[in-house]
Amino acid sequence: MTRLVHLTDLHFGHERADLVQPLMAAIRCAEPDLVVVSGDLTHRARAGQFRAARAFLHALDLPFLATPGNHDMPLINLPLRILAPFRPWRRGVAQGLTPRLRIGCAHIATANTADPWRWRRGILRRADQRQVADFMRARPHEAIGVLACHHPLREPAGFERGETKGARAGLPALARAGVQVVLSGHLHHWDVGLGITADQPQPVLMVQSGTALCGRDGERHHGFAVLDLTPGQAKVTPWLVDEARRMFAPRDRRVFLRQDGLWHLSPQP
């Protein structure tokens, strides 16, 4: 089994300070093989915010990979956003924009969907699609192909805003190349499975996780997702905050089984 923690939308610079240590403790308690961070490590892409995000991730003492979100590009400094939008990321995170890793039964790729020209909305670039597809085609047959990106490649009900340019055309090709699971954030909204029901299997398992730490008014259900992957099976468990006790705890787990190239929702709780 390979265990991943999916963490997204930390928003250091506008984070819930009271949840930082509980979040760190919960992630350590989950004992993942890898932490996957799908963007918005910072709120305004400032050096101090990147330092805080990097300190948090390194303090976990766990391997991690991360890819940018739209908040990891400058917003107000328009010349920097257009000419060198990811310079703060490269200086602050010390990882590339699209790291990839093979760990256990998971082949994990990232796509940088942050778009300096549209800032809030994203883009699935053709170059990223080609690189992800090549990486997935090289995996062993039994390995599970996982793609992490900030913007959703399919949008949950109520969010049909065209957030990610190129996603509608690109997702089927990525699925054919071997992408079986997509981890995303951006919406600060939870949706595990995104349309997969007992009667409706899907080729790609979407795990849309909510914000981990964002402190904006009205934010709810802070947390992260734990994925337990074995060939042919994915168990997804949201860990959500208990506001009364200021701690994160696992909630209802969903189990998905892969048969004939499709993910099926298992009746197993």
Tens-level pLDDT at each residue, the chain (269 residues): 999 999 999 999 999 999 999 999 999 999 999 999 999 999 999 999 999 999 999 999 999 999 999 999 999 888 888 888 899 999 888 778 999 999 999 999 999 999 999 889 999 999 999 999 999 999 998 999 999 999 999 999 888 888 899 999 999 999 999 999 999 999 999 999 998 988 899 999 999 999 999 999 999 999 999 999 999 999 999 999 999 999 999 999 999 999 999 999 998 76
Strand order in the sheet with 106-111: 101-103, 106-111, 144-149, 179-184, 205-208, 191-192
Number of residues in the chain: 269
Q: pTM of this prediction?
A: 0.96
Give residue 256's pLDDT.
97
pLDDT, position 25:
97
Cα–Cα distance, 79 to 67 (Å, whole number): 22
Q: CB atoms < 10 A from the CB of 83, how many? A: 10
Predicted local distance difference test score (pLDDT) of residue 267: 84
* Residue pair 183/203 in contact by the 8 Å Cβ criterion: no
Which whole-number Å values give the CA distances from 232 to 118, 180, 186, 193, 247, in the listed order?
38, 10, 28, 15, 32
Neighbours of 47 (CB within 10 A): 11
Half-sphere exposure of 134 (CA within 13 A, CB side): 8
